[in-house]
Structure 1
Amino acid sequence: MYVVLGANGRAGGEVARALIAGGKAVRVVLRHPQQGKKWTALGAEVAVASLEDAGAMADALTGARAAFLLNPPPVSGDPYQRTEEIGAALADAARRAGLPKAVVLSSIGAQHASGTGVIATLNRFEALLDGVTPATAFLRSGYFVETWSEVAQPVPSQGMLPTFIEPSQKIPMVSTIDVGRAAATVLCEEWTGKRVVELGGPEDWSAGDVASAFAEVLGRPVTPVLVAPAERAALLAEAGVPGEVADALLGMYEGIANGLFTRQDTSEHRRGTVSLATAIERVVAAVEPAGR
């Protein structure tokens, strides 16, 4: 039995689907029971627990061969305090359950304890979960290609892609499809101790490359437009992002600009196979109906 947290999110859902496709027994852990219907239809077992509830999480992890653990993206409150609460609860739950193996979702750049905004929460998350299972792999993912869906609304109608990343700066990016496949693969591998696995797409990409992929998919020109740092906080506020979360996100983009979103030579390096155009096709499919 493989246990997957965050199955209704981007990465966790892909992990659960990849394991199910591989014929593995899967238990997804959800916050609300009504979220489980689609997973039971796929043959998964459903457990209901909040990440902060160590007792309920221990029950959900009991009997697992391995588990995919994560710290969900912040939506409100202090992201750093939230990380402390979730990390401590999951560490306690894993110990109580006697979990033998875990793959923990993290991010490229998580080697830095500061200077990377929200990514720094994953540095702390890794520290909280380090050593709680006999075998622990920290899967440090590149920037999710699917994250571009959050700023892609003007692309089909206006031919412009807003970006907080300088258009020519190439960084590790990866489709969540590849994240799911990689996590499922590592979950089924055998090792002991700690591993750090860094995952990118087939190659590193820039915001300019993302705009070109949108243009390829849409069949018309798309231009990347860099949002000036002084204008970003107002845009996030207009989008309803709470102040503490916005500060953490802006810190991430500052860290990217400062060259901190980079791989470590001492880590395992892997690359996925999903092309940028294929990943952007999924983004367009989700964005275009809303823009009509």
Structure 2
Amino acid sequence: MRILITGSNGQLGSELQDILKDNTNYECYFLNRKQLPLDQTAIIQDILGTYQPNVIIHTAAYTAVDKAEAEQELANKINYLATEEIAQYCRLNETKLLAISTDYVFDGNSSVALREDATVDPLNVYGLTKWKGEQAILKWYPEAIIIRTSWVYSTYGTNFVKTMLRLMSEQEGISVINDQIGSPTYAYDLAQIIVYIIDSGKWIAGIYHYSNEGQISWYDFAVAIRDIQRLNCQIDAISTSAYPTAAKRPAYSLLDKSKIKNTFGIEISDWRSSLERMLIKLKS
């Protein structure tokens, strides 16, 4: 089986490389943004055709949430139009598609964990373009699996955990938002689930939610990072209004994982245990 992974240099793509690179059951192609330039939509299907994959794992995206407010056309091209090209290719060539989406498709007004059928109403350009990408997949290739995830971090790339570690080592005190609620996702855990789904041969199309278990704020996340690492840094809790950004964020985007757990028979790690594993790996 030939598997093609987009966004190979991203957090999730890098974790998938680590898991799949020595897997002799699959012939894997890991494409970065130069090998598959998603902003050049006219050539995407031709590039995919040279690899003739049986499965595409589409992790690549425009993820600069604040920057997207000023680069709407580029974000739309990468997250929506390029995804549409990939979905069309999969339909024409009977290629399975597993694509990654985001909790940012929601408006954050819920008070309970969000199910896959919850009302979608993005607050920012990034969320809107990812939702349009979802719609394109459902239109052209409804046999696809879409996994929405949240607060992704990894030993690879730039993310909240690594930023907090840097700031805590440089400053005596920092301020972190405490009124945005969700749950982090260790990219390695999500990569393992993706490979498990492919290994199982149990392909059940639809939208699924995945993050690590638990409910926390960004402030809680930062405190846990500090405490696990035994750092000496004062962390003050602040409201979203005290830290304005170009793009609005959902205040509550906790994902209900019941569907993916029940459908594929998986267990999901608690956010803190996954964070501890990531921090150990980061030191090694």
Look up the equivalent residue of 1:196 and give its one-letter code: I
1:97-144 Cα offsets, whole Å, 9 max, x none, are 625211111123535223366333322221122243352111111212
SS of the residue 1:155 aligns to? helix
Given candidates 93, 96, 109, the residue that maps to 1:101 is 96
- Say yes or no: does 1:82 pair with 2:74: yes
Shift of 1:5: 0.8
8 A Cα contact 1:101 1:134, kept in partner: no
- Say yes or no: does 1:65 pair with 2:57: no
1:36-95 Cα offsets, whole Å, 9 max, x none, are xxxxxxxxxxxx220123343223323111111132313745454334322223322442
Instruction: Find the counterpart in structure 2 of residue 262 from structure 1.
Output: 254
Which runs of structure 2 are paired with 1:112-123 in the superposition (5 Å)? 112-115=120-123, 118-123=126-131
Taking the aligned partners of 1:83 and 1:22, their CA distance within structure 2 comes to 33
Look up the equivalent residue of 2:101 and give its one-letter code: S
Given candidates 79, 87, 92, the residue that maps to 2:85 is 92
8 A Cα contact 1:161 1:211, kept in partner: no
SS of the residue 1:138 aligns to? strand
Instruction: Find the counterpart in structure 2 of residue 279 from structure 1.
Output: 278
Instruction: Find the counterpart in structure 2 of residue 53 from structure 1.
Output: 40
Taking the aligned partners of 2:20 and 2:96, their CA distance within structure 1 comes to 15
Taking the aligned partners of 1:96 and 1:220, their CA distance within structure 2 comes to 49
Look up the equivalent residue of 2:54 and give its one-letter code: R
- Say yes or no: does 1:155 pair with 2:142: no
SS of the residue 2:21 aligns to? helix
Look up the equivalent residue of 1:126 and give its one-letter code: E
SS of the residue 1:139 aligns to? strand
Which structure 1 residue ranges, 5 or more long, are not aligned?
Answer: 33-47, 234-245, 287-292
SS of the residue 1:268 aligns to? helix
Which runs of structure 2 are paired with 1:134-173 in the superposition (5 Å)? 135-146=143-154, 147-148=159-160, 149-166=162-179, 170-173=181-184
Taking the aligned partners of 1:271 and 1:199, their CA distance within structure 2 comes to 11
Taking the aligned partners of 1:222 and 1:194, their CA distance within structure 2 comes to 46
Taking the aligned partners of 2:201 and 2:140, their CA distance within structure 1 comes to 17
Given candidates 197, 217, 226, the residue that maps to 2:237 is 226
8 A Cα contact 1:2 1:27, kept in partner: yes
Look up the equivalent residue of 1:71 and give its one-letter code: A
Which structure 2 residue ranges, 5 or more long, are not aligned?
Answer: 107-119
Instruction: Find the counterpart in structure 2 of residue 37 from structure 1.
Output: none
Instruction: Provide the aligned C-alpha RMSD in A.
Output: 3.2
Instruction: Find the counterpart in structure 2 of residue 36 from structure 1.
Output: none
The more displaced of 204-213 and 265-274 is 265-274
Look up the equivalent residue of 1:84 and give its one-letter code: N
Shift of 1:207: 3.2
TM-score under structure 1 normalisation?
Answer: 0.70
Shift of 1:264: 5.0
Taking the aligned partners of 1:134 and 1:192, their CA distance within structure 2 comes to 12
SS of the residue 1:263 aligns to? coil
Instruction: Find the counterpart in structure 2 of residue 25 from structure 1.
Output: 27
Taking the aligned partners of 2:258 and 2:76, their CA distance within structure 1 comes to 26
The more displaced of 121-130 and 6-15 is 121-130
SS of the residue 2:63 aligns to? coil
Taking the aligned partners of 1:178 and 1:265, their CA distance within structure 2 comes to 14
1:272/1:210 CA distance change after superposition, 3 Å:
same
